[in-house]
Amino acid sequence: MKANLDHIAVVLVHPQIPENIGAAARAMSNMGLRRLVLIAPKNCDLSRMLKTATGNSVDLVEQMEVFDDLKEALAPYHHIAGTTARTGALRPTLSQPRDLAHDLVTLSRNNLVAILFGPEDRGLANDHLRYCHTIVTIPTASFSSLNLAQAVMIVCYEIFLAARQDPVEAEPRLANSFELEGMYDHLREVLTKIGFLDPQNPEHWLLNIRRFLSRLPLRAREVRIIRGVCRQIDWYTSQANKTNVQH
């Protein structure tokens, strides 16, 4: 089975310059990707976008999806990759574009895939990257900051090349972001209740759990198992609290 490029979306988070959106659309069109998603764009001036989105990419711009909320936009996607030039303890670089492309092409046959690109002035924030299964950095010689459309072109080009290679066995359908975020909300609630997470900053400590579980290709059934464990822990702590009150 070949790659399904229609299952791969480029997601621009808070893009600021309409011309960059149009240029990114043109890069996508050149490489055979057709799914463009914008998250709370600062300026959604279609006429300015179309100045740089020429040819077939005009249709891509006119059909793009626009959301106010990133979590809502990512809900149906089964695998999410985030791009960043800044690394650190909270954003470990796990992949480079060529390796990422191979993985995404394999996943795309049975799963929806999203690739996140941040705003031009500061890139993706930690709050954006927490939704990502993979974090990718584009290697550069010295100055690491790339124009938004340039970054989109590099990643899309690698995907285009990977899609032309001999197909390998497809990945099964994975849990989507809506299912995963429900699981993480459940884990946060239960682990805070039993004292495993600091109630003052549960997201900070939950990030390590996210990083661990994101390395596992969780299916919907496995997410339901984890949530079943959470419900059992919740029930047990409730019973223990009732016993303590009675005594």
User: Looking at domain 177-246, which CATH architecture does it have?
Assistant: Orthogonal Bundle (1.10)
Q: What is the mean pLDDT of the chain?
A: 90
| pTM for the predicted model, two decimal places | 0.88
pLDDT number for residue 133: 92
Locate the domains of the chain by residue range: 5-163, 177-246
37-52 tens-digit pLDDT: 999 999 999 999 999 9
Q: Which CATH superfamily is domain 5-163 in?
A: SPOUT methyltransferase, trefoil knot domain (3.40.1280.10)
Q: In this structure, how many other beta carbons lie within 10 angstroms of the beta carbon of residue 15?
A: 23
Helical ranges in 137-219 per DSSP H:
148-163, 177-193, 202-214
225-245 tens-digit pLDDT: 999 999 999 898 888 766 666
Helical ranges in the chain per DSSP H:
18-30, 46-52, 57-62, 70-74, 97-107, 126-129, 148-163, 177-193, 202-214, 220-246
